Chains A and B, each alone.
Chain A
Amino acid sequence: MGLFVAQLLTGLANAAALFLVASGLSLIFGVTRIVNFAHGSLYMLGAYFGVMLMQSLPGAVGFWGSIVLSSLIVGAIGIIIEICVLRPVYRAPELFQLVATFGVILVIQDLTLMFWGAEDQLGPRAPGLKSVVRILGEPIPQYDLALIVITPFILLGLWWLISKTRVGILVRAATQDREMVGALGVNQSWLFTGVFFLGSALAGLGGAIQLPKGGADLLMDLNIISAVFVVVVIGGMGSIVGAFVASVLISVLNVFGVAYLPQSTLVLMYVVMAIVLLVRPYGLFGREEKAGEHGQAGEPDRPIRPAGVRGRLFAAALFLALALVPVFGSNFTQVLLTDILIFCLFAASLQFMLSTGGMVSFGHAAFFGGGAYAAALLVTYADSPMELAFLFAPLAAGLLAVVFGWFCIRLSGVYFAMLTLAFSQLVWSLVFQWYDVTGGDDGLVNIWPSAWLSGTTTYYYFTLIVGVGGIIFLRHLIHSPFGYSLRATRDSARQADATGINVTHVQWAAFATAGAMAGLAGGLFVFSKGSVFPNELEIEKSFDALIVVFLGGVKTLSGGVVGAAFMESVKDWLTRLEYWRLILGLLIIGVVIVAPAGIVGTLRGLSERLGLRWTGETTR
């Protein structure tokens, strides 16, 4: 009994930070309709500022003062982000907003590294609350009790602010109908900035207040963001009470998970989320949202045609050049090109569902890594031959996508994005924690291709044929009736439905196809490296794919492939720089604001001005 109560209390104390970050995210989304992916970064900044201030301000007053001060500083940083990054993209499609906030994550990561260094910072203990209290014989840290007492007051304060003050009334009105609030004389810009300040300050507060329990490190931004997404998905986007209930639920569940199911603590959270979504698709306290824009706002895509003679000749020449590389190029070049080809296929698979299908997935790594792990597991445990395991990779990833797709396609827009991310985290945590089977952090090793494919050059040719074949297959799909049906569901789901197209089935099939092709890339990957580690399933991997599609050009067919080739080539050089994330982050933000057409889109615009034609029968 004592232990049970102690665990419950620990869970409640842990809920504090999660609740603060989640409620901030929810608040911002409610009014601006932007899911701030950088919200975890603001939480991290709160922690770092907290450590810094606590070191210079003494005593209890200094400690609590530092927490409040950090929160205010982070709020101010939020204002800067809102004005510089988000204001220019409020009218842009959802995807562009999400990518812009991802750019912010990278920038903040490197700035934090620059100012505070790579070492983890230990959180100071709270003066006067350093010891433990015995409850039913179990020791409970005093600070935990303090958090348990403080959090409801913050909830109460937020509730008061939202429901009783004029600002709160305006925020709620704007959540419902922004335009009408403007027509009644309220300046929306300032309302947006104000809400962003408050939401950011809450994240900063969360970061600072958890210091005595957790400290500050450079991984905490992405670590918390997936948990926060789970919380807002369970609690219901835009609901503060929902954020509180879900934070408590998840935190308590986590503590009990650690005690009784130590290998599935992370997985548990996602299982709960899946169950909640089955029963209430918009969360416990959420309500149905109108569909998002699927990243298709702005200028409509143009009609497409299969490549014409010029385009095909160009592709053939490129293929030939790649085939000749082993004759002239070094071993290193072949390895690099193998990596590039694999990444190109991965990006192309994402682009298929993202551009043609309008489904913005933030968790595509689940299928890449999923395919890689599927093949590796088969080799490790069934001692299966490489050929069989290789074929198993796309199959397993495709099946995984069928299951995840069933949940995900019921939602759209940011909900779809968050859910895909959460599902990819589910796979990651499963692999990471199921040490006995997956080797956890140590990964699976000795996954080599069969003898006939073992040479670097042979494997390069294998990758070239499979990779290019996969990309061509995906391109063919886009031009096939299936691809057109998919594009139809994206352009106008209503019209598609009214002309006999089963929108759900088409999207589901596309989701599964994209997953299977990502799995194929994963299969190529695992046998080229001879091993696979959980990082192939991480959020960063999903973001990598998203960013190259974006850099290449969302509204093009080849954007993903070109973006992936470009990125993988410069990455080698770029990552040698100390602060490459900062550069990349600024580049992404710049592209979103200045050149949203991406590399291919911009080049296409240029070549059209020069009068070149790349497709077959073009449109007048």
Chain B
Amino acid sequence: MTAVLKVENLVRAFGGVKAVNGVNFEVAPGELKALIGPNGAGKSTCFNMLMGQLKPTSGTVYLNGENITGRPPRDIWRRGVGRTFQITGTYQSMTVAENVQMALISYHRRIFSIRSYAYRLYREEALALLDIVGMADQADRACAILAYGDLKRLELAIALANEPTLLLMDEPTAGMAPRERIRLMQLTADIVRDRGLSVLFTEHDMDVVFAHAHHIMVLNRGALIADGTASQVRNNEKVQEVYLGGGTLYEQEKANA
């Protein structure tokens, strides 16, 4: 089976600094995969390149076998990639349902249509998507007054509007209470199972990562240092070092002790 997402030798340099330096990985169909790493390791840069917000300096990104490197975000979306952002980008002046309807209008290529009222279009479909994430009861609330966790769930519903084969989620649980985090990831895992899509997500809450991800990749200083199951990653010495410090300082401390 071909990989849903295949990344080859991805590099992105800012000035002279290589934020992402030769990353290779694959995401298999139906896989829930996490990309973790310390702040500044290059997770967001990596993500932005996958979704087209940033152009890679070099390297290739394949989606279901098709080269999508450097295409604009809207193109990549049309090819079946949904995305949620670390800082939510919902439309504040619309209702919850309208946010999803907007994505559906775009999916059905009716952006420039002026024939009908937008709030009536694809409402049933939107409600069905909201139902999946448990937001149907809040469909007519203004997006601007939603609680943070609800916004995140709304974003998930929006990301499903184009029937994606791959979901990219950037820090999906950032800023949420621990219980909400578990709920959201459980929901994501259910969606992966029910809809057979793949998810790649970045996350800093290790509980979330180890509880839900099928596979985990660890990024450090722009390079992957581990890619495997939870226990493989947990026992990887290099990963231990990155997360618990180390290097010369660690040696020095051991010498002092």
Contacts and interface: CB of A to CB of B under 8 A. Distances in A.
Q: Classify A-B as touching or not with yes or no (CB < 8 A).
A: yes
Given A305-B119, A484-B102, A485-B105, A498 B93 contact: no
B106 interface: yes
Given A306-B117, A479-B118, A499-B161, A487 B91 contact: yes
Interface stretch (B73-81, B183-191, B220-228): B73-81
Contact of A485 (B78, B93, B102, B116): B102
B83 interface: yes
A619 to B, nearest CB: 5
Which of A299, A479, A509 counts the most chain B CB atoms within 10 A? A479
Contact of A303 (B85, B98, B107, B114): B98
Interface string B141-161: 111100000000000001001
A328 B115 CA distance: 38
Interface string A482-506: 1111011011101101111110001
Contact of B118 (A483, A500, A506): A483
A303 B94 contact: yes
A128 interface: no
Contacts of A480: 113-118
B197 to A, nearest CB: 16
A302, A304, A482, A498 — which one has the most chain B CB atoms within 10 A of its CB?
A498
A484 B98 contact: yes
A501 B75 CA distance: 9
A479 B113 CA distance: 11
A495 B85 contact: yes
B45 to A, nearest CB: 16
Most buried by A among B77, B91, B119: B91
A61 B103 CA distance: 71
Contact of B111 (A299, A306, A482): A482
A497 B90 contact: no
A500 to B, nearest CB: 4
Q: Which of A484, A487, A492 has the most CB of B within 10 A?
A: A484
A481 interface: yes
Given A303-B142, A499-B158, A619-B141, A492 B106 contact: no
A492 B140 CA distance: 20
Contact of B144 (A300, A305, A481): A300
A607 B78 CA distance: 44
Given A488-B102, A506-B111, A498 B51 contact: yes
Interface residues of A, number: 35
Interface string A295-319: 0000111111110000000000000
B215 to A, nearest CB: 25
Nearest to A473: B114
Contacts of B83: 498
B89 interface: yes
Contacts of A498: 51, 53, 73-74, 77, 83, 85, 89
A620 interface: yes
Contacts of A303: 93-95, 98, 142-143
B14 to A, nearest CB: 14
B9 interface: no
A410 interface: no
A481 B105 contact: yes
A495 B142 contact: no
B93 A481 contact: no
Interface residues of B, number: 42
A108 B84 CA distance: 50
Interface in A606-620: 617, 619-620
Interface in A538-592: none
B195 interface: no
B110 interface: yes
A287 interface: no
Contacts of B24: none
A235 B85 CA distance: 37
B243 interface: no
Nearest to B101: A484
B112 A481 contact: yes
Contact of A500 (B101, B117, B162): B162
B93 A487 contact: yes
A477 interface: yes
A134 interface: no
A506 B109 CA distance: 13
Contact of B140 (A302, A497, A620): A620
Interface in B49-108: 51, 53, 72-74, 77-78, 83, 85, 89-95, 98, 101-103, 105-107
A476 interface: yes
A419 B116 CA distance: 34
Interface in A452-492: 476-477, 479-485, 487-488, 490-492
A495 B106 CA distance: 12
Contacts of B72: 497
B121 interface: yes
Given A501-B106, A502-B74, A482 B93 contact: no
A273 B72 CA distance: 29
B204 to A, nearest CB: 21
A498 B99 CA distance: 13
Nearest to B87: A494
Given A476-B114, A485-B102, 14 more contacts: A299-B144, A302-B142, A477-B114, A482-B114, A484-B98, A484-B101, A491-B93, A492-B91, A495-B90, A498-B53, A498-B83, A499-B106, A499-B162, A617-B140
28 contacts: A301-B92, A302-B93, A303-B93, A305-B119, A479-B117, A479-B119, A481-B112, A483-B114, A485-B112, A487-B94, A491-B91, A492-B92, A495-B85, A495-B89, A495-B91, A498-B53, A498-B85, A499-B74, A499-B107, A500-B77, A500-B106, A500-B107, A501-B106, A619-B95, A619-B140, A619-B141, A620-B140, A620-B141
